Structure 1
Amino acid sequence: MNRLAAAALSFGLVIGAGFPASATDLDALSDAERDAFRAEVRAYLLDNPEVLMEAIDVLESRQADAQANVDVNLARANADALFDDGFSWEGGNPDGDITIVEFLDYRCGYCKRAHPEVAELVSSDGNIRVIVKEFPILGEQSMLASQFALAAQIVEGNEGYKLASDALMTMRGEISGDSLTRLAEALGFDSEAILDEMTSDEVGKIIEENRLLAQRLQISGTPTFVFQDQMLRGYVPLDGMRNVVRDLRAEG
């Protein structure tokens, strides 16, 4: 909700908080009483504009808390698909006490920005398991990139996926059949096998499963992270991610 809409709702909260219920039933007032009431509210807010901003902050905080509770329930209800689907690439410490799932798109600028920071978080911590969900939502080139990464995993194994994924995150320029052929050759892959696998039923099924999971989790953008049962919708800098990990460990 934008702050203008929040302001409208908060205006109602201010009215309700400052006057008895009978006074806020405008239909029960005469025209003169209604005009006087509105004038009093307007004058109060003009004299005390900080009250309106405080009400907006309270409303936004309550909405954020409510969304966080929804996200926890969604993550728990979809735990198997998030953490144990049998096909998503996994890295970091397989026995880590914290698991992070990232939904990413290789054409997403914020995913590119987050990529080295996630790597630094996982490597510097040493006790984090990370899972990647291919979620191509930014057009045909995004789809080609995810198909390439998944095909690399199937043909070249988990190490091949990591090489392909890292390369795609730093890739500049257009993603096409030709550019992916050159990338496969540069990485030492069997380019013909990779390109054939990109359109396989297996690759298509994985992408569709990830899309359906994102739909159930109400995820519509990238990057989106799931830290255990907490969702971070959007880019979060390294220090912010470290704080989330610290808080999760403190909660036990």
Structure 2
Amino acid sequence: MKLVLSLAVAVATATPGLALPLSDAERAAFRAELRAYLLEHPEVIREALEGAETRRMARHANADLARIEAHAETLFRAPDDWTGGAPDGDVTLVSFVDYRAEGARRALDAAREAAERDDRLRLVVKEAPRPGDEAAERAARFALAVLRLAGPAAYEAAQTRLFDAGARLDAAALDRISAELGLDPAEVTTRMAGSDITAKLAETRALTEALELGPAPAQVLRRTMVRGDVPAIALLRMVEAIRRKK
């Protein structure tokens, strides 16, 4: 029936130059019969649309897989990213963070929870502020500066405070967070302007563009890209699916 439908639609919608030799009256009658059939059997349209959507999704998934493979080294093994969970885990989850993005805190919390519940999961966090958002970039620079000055534990604490600050991510708020973390605000501010931090943010931005990932929050596994935030249980199911396919 799908083949018949495809042929019928082609005939009914053909341009005059490509039309079969039907008179205007025959063409009108054919279209009326086709319309009546489709009204009587709407499931034919639904099946055709579902098939087209399935093919579109498969093409999209295959394109995602190719992009992940092409950028795997930068994505999963960049030496200057914060890394947690199992250091030698068999699956790596990469979480992209923007402290001003809707759902970013939920996404990072879900990634951390997944790493806590799965002792074979390695977690990587990348700072991915939205381009053009000065406050978001300032927060990302601050987080990276804390990581480089004070290490992973201070970085995690800084992330929590950055999310707590919400929209108030101006210089005064960052100085206050520095002091709460026991750091010298002036030293952190200087470190934020470091060329290595500028290069790191540029690298991550180029990576998200190459992956066609879109804005944070986002999560990436070896065979899956999640645009937006999903709960930890969903991430854990994706991890298990990847293990089964190995």
1:133 match: secondary structure: strand
Compare 38-47 and 150-159 and name the one that shifted more. Answer: 38-47
- Find the aligned partners of 2:208 and 2:44 in 1 and give their Cα distance: 39
1:164 match: secondary structure: helix
Structure 1 letter corresponding to 2:173 = S
2:28 match: secondary structure: helix
2:232 aligned residue (216, 229, 238): 238
- Find the aligned partners of 1:160 and 1:14 in 2 and give their Cα distance: 65
Cα deviation for residue 14 of structure 1 reads 7.9
- Are 2:103 and 1:113 aligned? no
Structure 1 letter corresponding to 2:101 = C
| Alignment match, 2:206 | 212
- Are 2:80 and 1:87 aligned? yes
Compare 230-239 and 199-208 and name the one that shifted more. Answer: 230-239
Contact 1:115 / 1:169 at 8 angstroms: preserved in 2? Answer: no
- Find the aligned partners of 2:12 and 2:206 in 1 and give their Cα distance: 49
Q: What is the CA RMSD across the aligned residues, in angstroms? A: 2.2
| Alignment match, 2:6 | 16
Contact 2:141 / 2:192 at 8 angstroms: preserved in 1? Answer: yes
Cα deviation for residue 207 of structure 1 reads 0.4
Structure 2 letter corresponding to 1:211 = R
Structure 2: unaligned runs, 5 residues or longer: none
2:67 aligned residue (74, 87, 95): 74
CA separation of 1:31 and 1:132: change in aligned 2, threshold 3 A:
same
| Alignment match, 1:198 | 192
Cα deviation for residue 156 of structure 1 reads 1.2
Contact 2:91 / 2:120 at 8 angstroms: preserved in 1? Answer: yes
For normalisation by structure 1, the TM-score amounts to: 0.87
| Alignment match, 2:32 | 39
- Find the aligned partners of 2:109 and 2:234 in 1 and give their Cα distance: 14
- Find the aligned partners of 1:119 and 1:143 in 2 and give their Cα distance: 22
For normalisation by structure 2, the TM-score amounts to: 0.89
- Find the aligned partners of 1:61 and 1:20 in 2 and give their Cα distance: 20
1:52 aligned residue (24, 45, 55): 45
Kindly report which structure 2 residues correspond to 1:171-182, keeping only aligned pairs within 5 A, or say none.
171-182=165-176
- Find the aligned partners of 2:12 and 2:35 in 1 and give their Cα distance: 15
Compare 207-216 and 55-64 and name the one that shifted more. Answer: 55-64
* Off by >4 Å, runs of 4+ in structure 1: 20-26
Contact 1:14 / 1:55 at 8 angstroms: preserved in 2? Answer: no
- Find the aligned partners of 2:31 and 2:121 in 1 and give their Cα distance: 56
| Alignment match, 2:143 | 149
Query: 1:153-196: per-residue Cα shift (whole Å, max 9, x none)?
Result: 12112222222123223333411000111111112222111111
Query: 1:83-140: per-residue Cα shift (whole Å, max 9, x none)?
Result: 1222111111111111011122111121112222211111011111111111101612
Contact 1:222 / 1:233 at 8 angstroms: preserved in 2? Answer: yes
Contact 1:185 / 1:191 at 8 angstroms: preserved in 2? Answer: yes
Structure 2 letter corresponding to 1:140 = E
Query: 1:34-74: per-residue Cα shift (whole Å, max 9, x none)?
Result: 22232222222222223323322222222111111111111
Contact 1:106 / 1:169 at 8 angstroms: preserved in 2? Answer: yes
Cα deviation for residue 23 of structure 1 reads 7.1
2:138 match: secondary structure: helix
- Find the aligned partners of 2:139 and 2:3 in 1 and give their Cα distance: 48
Structure 1: unaligned runs, 5 residues or longer: 1-11
- Find the aligned partners of 1:117 and 1:133 in 2 and give their Cα distance: 15
Aligned length: 240
